[in-house]
Every structure is written in C-alpha cells, then in structure tokens.
Structure 1
C-alpha cells in the first residue's frame, strides 16, 4: 500500500516527491502534534500509473512545452482537451483497490475533503496556491474515486498551466498527489497569516474569519472579519458584513446559503479565540522556521489546522540584528536613490556595502549600516534619526531624491513608539559634523567667493588623477594582494569623492534653491529656474548624449553601417564594422566615444553588469532611435538653443531686478547666484562618472581573478565570481577552499533569479513592515495618475513603455514611460518628448536631465509601466505632476 497510499502519520517534509507540498505539510504537522484532521494521501506513483493508461499524453506534453504563460487562449483550449480526456481514462485496478482499502480503514461512513497536492506546491518560493481543485464533503466510494480523478485532471486547469509556464516549472516535472482528509464541519473557518501580508510586518498575526466552510472565504464569495494580534495582544478587529456562508449537505457536497440578517454582522471570533489561534500560528511558524499561510477551522470549541504553506509574497527581511528593547530599525532603498531598482548580484552588493564610509570597523569591511534584502541594498538610517535635528531635516533632504521616501520617513519618525526606543549611540553627532562640516563649509565658500570658472578644470583634473592612481595601484600586483589593495581603494572611494567633489555641485544646488526662492519673492516668477536649467555647461551625461547624437549623424551617411546598427549581434558589431563601407569612419568615432564613456551602461551602479565597451547591446538601439526620431544635427542645435534661452532668461531677470527698489543690490546678488548655478550644476554628474571609472577598474580585476579561478577549477566559469562577496573571493585567493562552494553558487543564482521578479519597497523596517506614505492631493483631473512634478511643461502624445534600453523603439513625438533611468538611459532622452518614471525625485538623474533637455517629466508614479499601456494617448503635466490617459490603445477612453 505504501506505493499508492500513505497515511498522514507516515508522512513528513521528506515525503514531498510522493505526496506533494500540501500532503507533506499535513503529514509534517500531524507528526509535530498540531491539531490536523486525520487522513491519507494518494501518492504521485498512483498519478504516474494513471497517466500511463493514456496513449495520448506524450503528444499533449509536447504541446504544453511550446506554450508561453501569456498565450491564454491556446492554454484554455489545450487545457480543456486534456481535462476532458483524463476524466475518461480508467483508474488502474491496483491503484483503485489501495485507495478503497485506505478509505475503509479511515472510516467509510465519514465525509472527506479531497484536495490536489502538487510536488511544486506550497514551496518556500512558489506556493501554487489555488492552482488545482478541491472537493468538499465527499461521501461514498464512487464520489471519492471521481473526486480523485478530477483532482488529477485539475493539474491542467488554465491557471495551473499558465502558473507553471510563468514560474518555469516543466510540465512533466510537476507530479500530483491527492489529499483525502476527514471533513470537519466548522462553525467558523478562515485563513491566518503569521505575518501581515499587506504591510509585511513579521510580528503581526493577521486572521480572516467567516462562518461555515472556508471555501467561501478562499474563493472570494464573502468578506471576512479581520483580527490582528501582536505580542499576544489583539491590536485590531474589523467586523465585516458576512452575507453568505458555505455549508455541508447530509448527502454530500456543499451548498451556499444567505445568512439571516441578525447573523451577518455577528463577530466570528471573540478576542480570546483570536489570541489563542494566533499563538497556534506562532507555534507553526517556529516549527517551519518561516512565516506561514494557515487554513484553519473552529468546530465544537476546538481549532483545527487543515493546511499550512509558506507565505511567498513577503519581501525578504534586511539581514540585520536589532538588540532587544530598541525600536525597529528603518531602512531606505539605495536603488530608488540611484534610479536603479533591479536586483544586484552578491558581488555588486558587497562592493557597494564596502564603499559606504560610515559604520565600518575597518576601511575594507562592509558597512554595518547597510543591509542586503531581496538582491537590493538598503541603508539603515536609524542611527541618524537618534539625533533630533535629523528627524526634521532628513525627510526634507530625502524628498529631493524621492518624494515618497521623504514623506514615508517623515510619517514614521512621527510615531511616538519609534522615537521612545531609538538607540542612543555615542559619537554619531560628532561623526556627522566631522564628515558634513568641511563639505558644507567648502560648498558655502564656492557659493559666495570662489570663481566658478576654475571649478571645471580642477574637477576634471581630479578625475583624471584619481583614475590614473586607481589603475596604478592595482597594476603591480595580483591575486590576494591585489584584492586587498582593491578593497582599500573601494573603502576610501566615496569618502574622498564626497570631500573633494561634492562641494561644487552642492553649491550649485543651493544656488538653484535660492534663485527659485528669491525670484518668487522679488519677481513672483519661481518657474524661471526651469529655463535656467537648460543646457548646463560641462555636464558629462549631457555631453555623452550629444556624442551619441554625433555617432548617429556619422552613421546616417553609410547605409551598411546603419544596417549593422539595426541588425547585427552587438558582440560582433565592432568586428563587422571593418567589413562595410564607412565602417572605418564610424569605427574611429565609436572608439573615441568608448574611450570616454565605454565604462558606462544602464543600471551601471551594479558593477556586475556588462559595460558598453564589453556589450554595446544597450547602446545600439539608442543610436538607431536617434536616427529615426531626430534630424541630422538637431541635437546640437537644441543644445545651443537651450544655452541661448538660459542666457536670455538670466539677462532679463537681472534687468527686471534693476528696476526695483535696491535693484542694484538684488541684481548683484542674483548675478552671483546665476554664475554659481550655471557654472557648478553641470558638475553634478562628475562624482557618478568617477565612480564608474573606478567600477571599470574593479570589474576588470574581478573578471581576471574569476578567470584564473575558473582555469584552476575552483569556479566553473569566470562570471561565477559575481556570486561571491569580496571577503569570500579573498579567502579563495588566499587558498581557502570552501566546502560546497558550487552548491552555494547555485543557490545564489536561483535566489538572484527569484529576486529579479520582486518589487523592492522604498522604505521598510527590520520587522519587515513596508512604509507607504500617503501622497498629497494635487490639482489634477479625476482619474489622473499622481506623481512628483520634476520638469515643467505639458505635452500630449503616445506612451511608449521602455523597460530596458536595449528594447527601446521610440518614435518621434512619443512619451517615454520607464521604471527608472540612470546615465545609461540618457541616449533615449533625445528621442522622447516627455518622461514618466516610477521612481525618482527632484534631484535624481532623470529629473535633472529632463530639465536640461526641456522635457516635461513626472516621477514617482508607482506601477506606471503597468497602469499605462503601450500605445495609449496620454497627457503629461510636468508642472502639476500627473499623467492622464486620454485614449487607450485600441480606442477605449
């Protein structure tokens, strides 16, 4: 009987290949002593033997393998054919007899719940919840066998096929067991999450409860009471109007009934019961070592557990330990600040954590005030918030980077419970003053006294010298010695960069704020700054965009070069150029560009990403887009026009000021601010450029060490080095051989693939709570998508969704809708007439470049790339900060 049927008492988590995720969990909980109704599982061996009865399944498997997750019509058609076929396939006699014997031994006079249990179900990272079918109150032998057959067929429901395809589970690899469990006829049932599934708070048990069988709740037929328990106390209860309930019928099956009026708003659980159930949930969580989604029921005063599975929707916790008694630590997303929210490989995260200057016991150590979670970097700002002035100033500063981050931090620090238990770490105030003081003093000096004309030569010389020293430092060594030098270089990079470079653009930023405030006060014209922003001199990112326009203009004269740009494998592009007419001319321009900007790429803050010099696949589509949407030389003409418009606006501003009382003094002050602003704001991109110069050096060293380790057989391939941390690589280079290294690397690769599918929060706590700020009401039409206005102007046009630059196909007059942008996206700005981004703030890259180019822009619209459809006609208002869909692609309004 063991081959086809197993009782719960003989099942544990190791039984998953035989009984699937649901069956393994029920057996595991039974053996752990949790109150689980008794039952047995029909094993995957029975399912396998059942399928072998069909001669048509091999052809069906091949058809399934060809389907994509979004081919919904094809999935529905094929799924229906397979299900209709399987319900007519006979159950093998040996399987049938074993099932009947187990049923009789369990009690043939009882009713049973029959549920599907797939081998890829209720797993830590893929729940498959609700993908197969459930049959309740099954009575008698024939009902039981028919329900089992239907469960087997339900592996081929539309939703199950699509879910497997989306999550890359091979259709043949997923096997199906069937759980046969004695029915409990509850007064109340529901679902319990041992962590709040909405906020992510790990210390909050969230319970949904309704009358009758739980299927009404699971299937969405009824609203449920909500109870939340934290630390053994009921902190929330919302009593819902429960109109319907599902009840068992004496003859088998179920019926949906409308509850009497007086029952509909009756509380399903009292406080004591909610607390008791939450305590049971905590025990289940401790047993599994992870948060659980638990199905439960209450019958005759006793709670029963009918299922438990991992909660797969929670964003991973930051890897930090918070001492008992302290407030939960508050983390902000580094990716949202850097306009790159994609997952980063472990080596990229390790480099960034080493680069941060605070919270380090050693220059080569990873920063203790940063943490990795879900493949992203988060910064722990809790130590700063222990300073009372920081609780006021920091939200305002962060709002310039991302309005929703600033607002969320501001709301959270207003919680009395947070402030009361903040850690008091000595020396934080002194460290902040020592670090920021010299930077602010130099910024004020640059603002008031220093010549802006001397800034660019000094900063450019510093960049060249820093790049030269970085290369020289690592050129004379190899192996562990070189990596140690590299760690030193990384650990000092950001501190030096802030001290030497940041006072220049910071003075420009302060000047821009003063110009806006004074022009509003004296001239009632704060928006003049928008014109003054155009075509700032010396901005490296803008100059990069102009050079890409020059490349496009060079290519236009040579049709064979244009064809290569549009069709060749990017990795072969430079070699193919040598064989076409005009390739030598374009190749020289290409090489000059790569010498200056080849170390850049989209998402460049992730050092593990290939640079343009290695793979121009993300650059060539931008050149093509430029050729299709911008006239020859137009980019240069627009830039010169922007300079003239800014100079004219500045001159007119000063003329208007001179006509006012004390006008000579106002004009003199404003003239200084204008010189500083126009002279220094263009240096804003230089620190990031310097980082990329060093990232190129670092990436080259790591690839070379990875190549050597691969030759030595320590790594399977060179790129595996990016799934290690800097310290782990150092130990390998020093001769240590970690056990199970390949298993570790494989696990991290799988984790990275999973992390790529996650959407990171802007703000989260060490308890997993995701902090979401409420956006302020704006002057916007009904139905508009609200965001942060960062570049003034209104434009209407066709929305073009761009998720990755290499896939961009912008046409003239289109508005780019992107998840984020960084300098690697800049080439696309010439082709767009407006910009919408899901993340960002007033001073982030996309906003600054949009203002320089005169493009209306709105940022911070969550889910913009999904809420706006490709081809929609939209109105983008960069002055008031909204996007309105005027006409859906296809004609719908």
Structure 2
C-alpha cells in the first residue's frame, strides 16, 4: 500500500519514484518520503485504511508541507517524457489535504490530454493507466531549475534557473537564466528576465507568485561555483541511471536537492547569444526545438482562443501549460513570450518534432494574427513575411 521512497522501484512504484529511489540508495540528495501504490479508475478514492497509513507516514515526517506528484509507468521514459501531462500538487499539509491531492493525481492518469499525448507518441493502447503517487516534503528553495546533462562526450551541461520554486521554470511562465558548462570549465551565461517567482505559501498552503525586484531580475541566480556543483552532481546521476538525464533540482540553505531525474528524449538546439536582429522583420528568441516552417500565425492568449487554431498553423502564445499540449498535435510550430529550452512545453515540442522558439518578447502583439511567418527553431528566429511572400 505504502512504500518508503528509499525502497521504491520502477516496476512497483512507477518511473519517477523508481528513479529517485535508486538515487537515494546511492546516497544522492533526494528528499525522502513515501509512495502510495498504483490505483485504477475503480479505486481512485483514498479509503480509511489508506488514509490512516498516510497519516502515520506524515506524522513520521514531522507533518511537513508536502509535494504530491504522479509516478506512472507511462512517464519519464527514454522515448516519451510525458512532461507536464500528469498532476503535481505543491504545498499541501495535513492528512485530509494530502489524501485529496493523491486522488487528484490518480484521476489525472485518464485525462484527455494524457490520452492525446500517448496517441501522438505512438501508444495506441486503450488500457487505463495505473497511477502511483509520490509524497515528499517541499524544499523551500531560494533557487531552483532544470539541468540537462551532456548528451555526448564533449557536450555541455545545460542549466536553467530562477528564484524560488522551480514551477516557473518547468512551466515556462518566466524566461530563466541559462548556463552552459563546457568541458574545460568554460561557463556561458544568458541572464533571463525572471520577472516573477513562485514560493511556498506558509500561511494558506499551496504556492504564491510574487514579482521579482528589478535588481534581482538582473542578478545571476547561480554563481560559477554553484553551476560547477550542479554539473558534477548531474554527471553522477547520469552515471547511476545509465544515460543522459533531465534533472529538476532546488537549492535551500546552500544545499542542492534532486527532485526528479528522467532520460532526455530529444536533442537540444545550440544556445545562441540573444542580440538585436539586423533586419526589422526578424524577431529573436531562444531556440527550443529544431526545424523550420512557414505558415499562418495564430495568436492564442488563453484557452478561450483554442477553437481558433487549425491544422498547420504556428501557435503564438504568452506561455504554455499542460492544458495547451493538445494544440501541439496539429500545430506547425510554437512561439512563446517566456520560457526556456528545458521547460515542459519545449520538451513536448521536441518530442512531437515541431519547431519552437521561446522567450520572444511581445510575440502576441508584434506578430499579427493570421499573417504568414517563418519560424526557425534551430536559430531561434521568427521572420515576418509580407503578404506577397
């Protein structure tokens, strides 16, 4: 029914918990917790026996603010990440709230967007997914982010980071700082705007989004020493798990914690230095997913605009969260105003094989709805076309 995370295996507790269990057993810094066994549609509800077991585990952990996350066999795999497709509930406290979060995670296993994603990735099975759920204490981070370990022997370690919890980085709601650490110790840094930060709401539970001061927006979230520490840790994790890894991490009181590790599913575009374009009809952003296409631009500012998107159009949006992913199945490309190459949206775009350019400031106002544009996801450029082009 319940398994300590330090004893979790992929076969019994799903991919996310299984990988973290391996890392814990190897002595790596993973917040310990427990895993609730997989449930199918008939028993999504948390019964009295399971509730009592959860209550005992939370008491053992000191009744912390908890992160409750999915751990399915159908996510965090080498050929399909399912990045952002399932549910994570951050900052719940007390047995009733934690059990409610467990039920939400279980129910998300059969959400329509999950079925659409599975179909796009070639899984034609109609079998219901069993969903284990992972419960860990929230790391009250000052800095968090994502790291991709090198995908080839002479490759770089790519790190994206921002202030507070990592939800803004993986969700693409801010443009993070980006670091590349190359063999030989050379570090390349692009400072992102980082206009907001997400933190634990100690008073009400859950999370709260706050504005970042102008000074902090211009300040690096990681110094060279922290970048090097993360890269060394990433190398060790890749060695333990046997392949390059997509790693979510957080730093609290100068201690690095590993929150997730999964295989990298598609190659990253090369990081380019953002500079003013030489042509007035060219917009620049962060290369998010390889490919080039010319098509009609469709500006989408929220879910109410979803019905306006048709097959083969380029999606222009402020950012994307998991609810937007079904649009990727028939979009020709994706352009966002914020976000980094390691965000969930960029990962899914690479898996779907469509070009993406991220962090194009003012994209939803600078690109005319219905106009013809060319997106180059490898170069990170968007070219505005004249009507006769």
Q: Same fold (TM over 0.5)?
A: yes
Instruction: Tell me which residue corresponds to 1:5.
Output: 2
- Aligned partner (choices 226, 234, 245) of residue 292 of structure 1: 245
Instruction: Tell me which residue corresponds to 2:21.
Output: 27
Instruction: Please give the alpha-carbon distance, in whole angstroms, between the structure 1 residues aligned to 2:164 and 2:271.
Output: 35
Instruction: Tell me which residue corresponds to 2:255.
Output: 302
Q: Is 1:167 equivalent to 2:121 in the alignment?
A: yes
Q: Is 1:207 equivalent to 2:162 in the alignment?
A: no
SS of the residue aligned with 2:145? strand
Give the drift of 1:17: 3.1
Q: How does 1:500-579 map to 2 (within 5 A)?
A: none
Instruction: Please give the alpha-carbon distance, in whole angstroms, between the structure 2 residues aligned to 1:104 and 1:97.
Output: 11
Q: Classify 1:258/1:119 alpha carbon distance in 2 versus 1 (closer, same or farther; 3 Å).
A: same
Give the drift of 1:287: 1.2
Give the drift of 1:127: 1.0
Q: Classify 1:781/1:35 alpha carbon distance in 2 versus 1 (closer, same or farther; 3 Å).
A: closer
Instruction: Please give the alpha-carbon distance, in whole angstroms, between the structure 2 residues aligned to 1:101 and 1:232.
Output: 49
Q: Is 1:136 equivalent to 2:130 in the alignment?
A: no
Instruction: Please give the alpha-carbon distance, in whole angstroms, between the structure 1 residues aligned to 2:386 and 2:72.
Output: 42
| CA offset digits 1:148-187 (Å, max 9, x no partner) | 1111111233321211122233242532111101111011
How many residues are paired up? 289
Q: Is 1:194 equivalent to 2:194 in the alignment?
A: no
Instruction: Please give the alpha-carbon distance, in whole angstroms, between the structure 2 residues aligned to 1:287 and 1:165.
Output: 31
- Aligned partner (choices 96, 120, 125) of residue 51 of structure 2: 96
Instruction: Tell me which residue corresponds to 2:228.
Output: 275
Give the drift of 1:254: 0.7
In structure 2, stretches of 5+ residues that fail to align are 283-294, 296-352, 356-369, 373-382
Instruction: Please give the alpha-carbon distance, in whole angstroms, between the structure 1 residues aligned to 2:161 and 2:71.
Output: 24
Pick the structure with greater CA Rg.
Answer: 1
C-alpha contact 1:232 1:275 (8 A) present in aligned 2:
no
Instruction: Tell me which residue corresponds to 2:106.
Output: 152
Instruction: Please give the alpha-carbon distance, in whole angstroms, between the structure 2 residues aligned to 1:272 and 1:126.
Output: 33
In structure 1, stretches of 5+ residues that fail to align are 54-88, 316-768, 784-798, 800-861, 865-871, 875-881, 888-892
| Structure number having the greater strand percentage | 2
Instruction: Tell me which residue corresponds to 2:291.
Output: none
Instruction: Please give the alpha-carbon distance, in whole angstroms, between the structure 2 residues aligned to 1:278 and 1:249.
Output: 30
Instruction: Please give the alpha-carbon distance, in whole angstroms, between the structure 1 residues aligned to 2:183 and 2:140.
Output: 31
Q: Is 1:254 equivalent to 2:207 in the alignment?
A: yes
Instruction: Please give the alpha-carbon distance, in whole angstroms, between the structure 2 residues aligned to 1:253 and 1:103.
Output: 17
Instruction: Please give the alpha-carbon distance, in whole angstroms, between the structure 2 residues aligned to 1:244 and 1:770.
Output: 26
Q: Classify 1:250/1:782 alpha carbon distance in 2 versus 1 (closer, same or farther; 3 Å).
A: closer
C-alpha contact 1:23 1:117 (8 A) present in aligned 2:
yes
Instruction: Please give the alpha-carbon distance, in whole angstroms, between the structure 1 residues aligned to 2:281 and 2:58.
Output: 60
Give the drift of 1:90: 3.8
C-alpha contact 1:164 1:171 (8 A) present in aligned 2:
no
- Aligned partner (choices 26, 31, 42) of residue 37 of structure 1: 31
SS of the residue aligned with 2:14? helix
What is the aligned-residue RMSD (CA, Å)?
A: 3.3
Instruction: Tell me which residue corresponds to 1:846.
Output: none
| CA offset digits 1:786-843 (Å, max 9, x no partner) | xxxxxxxxxxxxx9xxxxxxxxxxxxxxxxxxxxxxxxxxxxxxxxxxxxxxxxxxxx
Q: Classify 1:781/1:193 alpha carbon distance in 2 versus 1 (closer, same or farther; 3 Å).
A: closer
Q: How does 1:767-806 map to 2 (within 5 A)?
A: none
| CA offset digits 1:847-890 (Å, max 9, x no partner) | xxxxxxxxxxxxxxx989xxxxxxx9x9xxxxxxx9x7959xxx
Q: Is 1:185 equivalent to 2:127 in the alignment?
A: no
Q: Classify 1:229/1:770 alpha carbon distance in 2 versus 1 (closer, same or farther; 3 Å).
A: closer
Q: Classify 1:226/1:782 alpha carbon distance in 2 versus 1 (closer, same or farther; 3 Å).
A: closer
C-alpha contact 1:241 1:264 (8 A) present in aligned 2:
yes
Q: How does 1:451-470 map to 2 (within 5 A)?
A: none
TM-score (norm 1): 0.30
C-alpha contact 1:21 1:117 (8 A) present in aligned 2:
yes
Q: Classify 1:863/1:101 alpha carbon distance in 2 versus 1 (closer, same or farther; 3 Å).
A: closer
Q: Is 1:126 equivalent to 2:80 in the alignment?
A: yes
Give the drift of 1:201: 7.9
Q: Which has the higher contact order (CA 8 A, sep 6+)?
A: 2
| CA offset digits 1:638-665 (Å, max 9, x no partner) | xxxxxxxxxxxxxxxxxxxxxxxxxxxx
C-alpha contact 1:194 1:202 (8 A) present in aligned 2:
no
Instruction: Please give the alpha-carbon distance, in whole angstroms, between the structure 2 residues aligned to 1:90 and 1:206.
Output: 40
| CA offset digits 1:41-88 (Å, max 9, x no partner) | 1111xx13xx324xxxxxxxxxxxxxxxxxxxxxxxxxxxxxxxxxxx
Q: Classify 1:127/1:282 alpha carbon distance in 2 versus 1 (closer, same or farther; 3 Å).
A: same
Instruction: Please give the alpha-carbon distance, in whole angstroms, between the structure 2 residues aligned to 1:183 and 1:771.
Output: 31
TM-score (norm 2): 0.67
